[in-house]
Structure 1
Amino acid sequence: MGVAERKLREKKQREEAILAAAKQVFQQKGLVAATMDDIAAVAELAKGTLYRHYRSKEDIMLLINERALQEMHGQFVQVTAAAATGLEKILRLTQAYYAFCLAHPAYFDFIAFFESPFPSTNVATLYATNTAIRELVMHLLEQGMQDGSIRTDLKAELLTNIMWASSYGIMQLIVSRGGHLTENQEINLDELFATYLTTLTAGLRP
């Protein structure tokens, strides 16, 4: 391995270590309160070294969020590939969303943050993946309308937005307030999601 290749490999390894440290800091302190100083400390780097790799906390947040969306989109494509009808694909996608958010609550925090109207960061880099997820959902809805598993009296574009809003809302409730629901209202979170899925199914079937 040449010197240039070794330096490139070391650069990528350091950047991965920085992202891992950043995820840890963001999960412990929150996306707003976390600082570059915190990330540098956990990554065991001088602050100047950190800035040579990433210009700002927002750059790190954007990259982590983009990775979260790409990973989620990849899982959506995988779980829907084997399903037969459009409705079955939609339900598998929704279940995959639930599993993904439970397995990666830190990733969901990023998705929720960039869904809010408050970030001042330029999020243009997230557009392509968000669009891919939206187009996948619309395609599956249209497929279900064609194969007869999904009602045809509603527009697929409108259903896509309703599905995203409702799925995002139920996951925000489960991930952000799940402990409160379990302790104070004695709600089983799996049962809560299953009820949502049943309601969604009933609303989509002809």
Structure 2
Amino acid sequence: MVDQRKERTTTALLHAAETLFRDRSADDVTVEEIAGAAGVAVGSIYNHFGSKAGLHAALVERALQVDRDFMDRAYGSSDSPIEQIHAAAEQYFAFYLAHPDHFRMLAFPGPPGRYAAGRELSERLARSVDEQNQRLVDAIRRGVATGDLRPVDPEQVATFLWAAWNGVISLAWRPDPLRRDEAQLRELLATATDVVAEGLRARRLD
């Protein structure tokens, strides 16, 4: 049977920490601030997560799982590498729209901080994001192997695509005329992905 009180406390702590970590590094946010924002005792952080680092790690793992759920839809949608590239862009944008704080945490993590736990978490996040992107690498590699895509370095292309998507989406946060709204971002992502995808197609000789 689920302990509803424990679940409520856990959810409140995760939400409070995510809000506070949005604009400040985990190093600069105290356990007292997190507990106060969650409306619970400081000891709850240690009881539920072991430490502030444990709470931060739980936040990252939750964001990764949500991202994974969205990207599963992209890579299960078609066997065509080109279609999977387009679907990956669409689902990544959908992930951002539904969970902007999760997106920011994965795409633009803050500095690892002064402590070993922070550096270890930063390294684990980088590895996990790389593992997520491996499915894009595999799709491109498969297309090259079948001759549907021209010979390219799948790792390089996948990294470029991921970085480009992050860059386009981040225009939503600009405080100047370069800022783009949701419709404009969607169009930009589709255009950028189409340019890359079409450039990847193998040239057929008639």
Identical residues among aligned pairs (%): 28
Equivalence for 2:45: 50
Q: TM-score, normalised by structure 2?
A: 0.77
Which whole-Å deviations, capped at 9, do the CAs of 1:128-153 have from their partners, x for residues lacking one?
Answer: 5324312211111112223443222x
Q: TM-score, normalised by structure 1?
A: 0.77
Deviation at 1:97, TM superposition (A): 0.7
In structure 2, the CA distance between the partners of 1:138 and 1:101, relative to structure 1 (3 Å rule), is same
Supply the distance in 2 between the matched residues of 1:203 and 1:68 (Cα, whole angstroms): 32
Supply the distance in 2 between the matched residues of 1:190 and 1:201 (Cα, whole angstroms): 16
Equivalence for 1:138: 137
Equivalence for 1:171: 169
Whether the 8 Å CA contact 1:76–1:93 is kept in 2: the answer is yes
Equivalence for 1:181: 178
Which whole-Å deviations, capped at 9, do the CAs of 1:88-121 have from their partners, x for residues lacking one?
Answer: 111101111111112211112211343x5x2131
Whether the 8 Å CA contact 2:74–2:87 is kept in 1: the answer is yes
Supply the distance in 1 between the matched residues of 2:148 and 2:75 (Cα, whole angstroms): 15
Supply the distance in 1 between the matched residues of 2:50 and 2:104 (Cα, whole angstroms): 22
Whether the 8 Å CA contact 1:86–1:144 is kept in 2: the answer is yes
2:85 maps to 1:102 = no
Equivalence for 1:93: 88
Bigger relative contact order, structure 1 or 2 (CA pairs below 8 A, ≥6 apart): 1
Supply the distance in 1 between the matched residues of 2:15 and 2:81 (Cα, whole angstroms): 37
Any gaps of 5 or more consecutive residues in structure 1? Answer: none
Equivalence for 1:201: 197
1:124-163 → structure 2 map (5 Å cutoff) = 124-126=123-125, 129-152=128-151, 154-163=152-161
Supply the distance in 2 between the matched residues of 1:10 and 1:46 (Cα, whole angstroms): 13
Supply the distance in 2 between the matched residues of 1:77 and 1:178 (Cα, whole angstroms): 33
Supply the distance in 1 between the matched residues of 2:157 and 2:86 (Cα, whole angstroms): 14
Which whole-Å deviations, capped at 9, do the CAs of 1:11-48 have from their partners, x for residues lacking one?
Answer: 44422331123233444xx2336443332122111223
Any gaps of 5 or more consecutive residues in structure 2? Answer: none
RMSD of aligned alpha carbons: 2.9
In structure 2, the CA distance between the partners of 1:76 and 1:49, relative to structure 1 (3 Å rule), is closer
Whether the 8 Å CA contact 2:9–2:40 is kept in 1: the answer is no
Whether the 8 Å CA contact 1:182–1:189 is kept in 2: the answer is no
Aligned residues: 193
